[in-house]
Structure 1
Amino acid sequence: MTNAPMLNGALHVLEAVLDVIAQHPWVLVPVAATLFVCVLLASPAGGACDARDPRRGFTVAERRAAFERAGLRCEHKSILWHRCTNTPTQGDHIYPWSRGGRTAMSNQQALCPFHNSRKSGSVPTRMYILRLQWRRRRYFPEDVSPRVQWRPGAATWSANDFS
């Protein structure tokens, strides 16, 4: 038994649709707009998925430890290679929780309110993370790793990645 009649019917329907689009291309505008809105509103982490850390916020003890390991200064760079001189009051996910970043000390930075609101939910570049890790080597306690690990099993970046 062959599916030739069904295939011919599908080809005729496809031909008719393409004919309408060729004669009236404006018909694609609502389709393109709908697709654009769907892509724009889609969560990069896939919405409510298993990739997100179930715990959203850092505990008071974790924030306090992050502030102390940062020397009670905001970790964001302000001018050139110098750090902001403000006192940190907020523990920020380096790689945002909303994008699949985990709630762990290795993915936390101590920020002042200005820099935390400015960074918001933006995903850091490799260069941002490399510069942060480089700065952290100067002020982190020696027994604490300056590496950023934003999710379990995710590779952390080092200067060797760019050579």
Structure 2
Amino acid sequence: MVSSQSLLGGFGSVASFVLEHPWSLAPIGVLILALVLLAGPAGGGSDRRDPKRMFTAAERAQAFTRAGLRCEHKPLLWFRCTNTPTQGDHIYPWSRGGRTAMSNQQALCAFHNNRKSGAVPSRAYIIRLQRRRRRYFPPEENLRVEWRLGAAQ
């Protein structure tokens, strides 16, 4: 008969400790939960769509100005894009229930807007965008991304 100690090899003492003290796995569980929540999409989609589909020319111009006339895309480990923005993008896509409002708009160059397409941003992306906007948004502008129907402008 094979003992559980021989099956586990060098991990036998670790396994027996975990079996005797299951609470010792709590920090790992909390870390995994945090990673799942931050990496997941920012919100659940909606079957109800905003009847207004496109940003007006004035709204796009305002978004370009508040972004300092630079594309707002920034990869995780690189610098912010230096291209001039040409398109107003729904941060949370209109096709997934995002509304057409200034609080759900980011100024992107054509390349980054086409690359993003209808992708739903992660919570981590939105947190990074809101934090990054502190550097270049005018002080009176709201930094918060509000994408839901019925949310404040």
Q: Is the 8 A contact 2:50 2:149 kept in 1?
A: no
Equivalences for 1:1-163 in 2 at 5 Å? 45-46=46-47, 51-78=48-75, 80-153=77-150
User: So what's the TM-score if we normalise by structure 2?
Assistant: 0.67
Match of 2:5 in 1: none
Separation of aligned partners in 2, 1:153 and 1:93: 16
Instruction: Give a deviation string over 1:5-30, Cα, whole Å, max 9, x none.
Output: xxxxxxxxxxxxxxxxxxxxxxxxxx
Gaps of 5+ in 1: 1-43, 156-163
1:131: Cα distance to partner?
0.3
SS in 2 for 1:71: coil
Match of 1:27 in 2: none
Separation of aligned partners in 2, 1:105 and 1:73: 17
Separation of aligned partners in 1, 2:135 and 2:78: 12
SS in 2 for 1:130: helix
Instruction: Give the number of the structure with larger relative contact order, counting CA–CA contacts within 8 Å between residues 6 or more apart.
Output: 2
Identity %: 75
Instruction: Give a deviation string over 1:108-162, Cα, whole Å, max 9, x none.
Output: 000000100000000000000000001001100000011100014569xxxxxxx
Gaps of 5+ in 2: 1-44
Amino acid at match of 1:66: A
Moved over 3 A (4+): 152-155
> Radius of gyration: which is bigger?
1
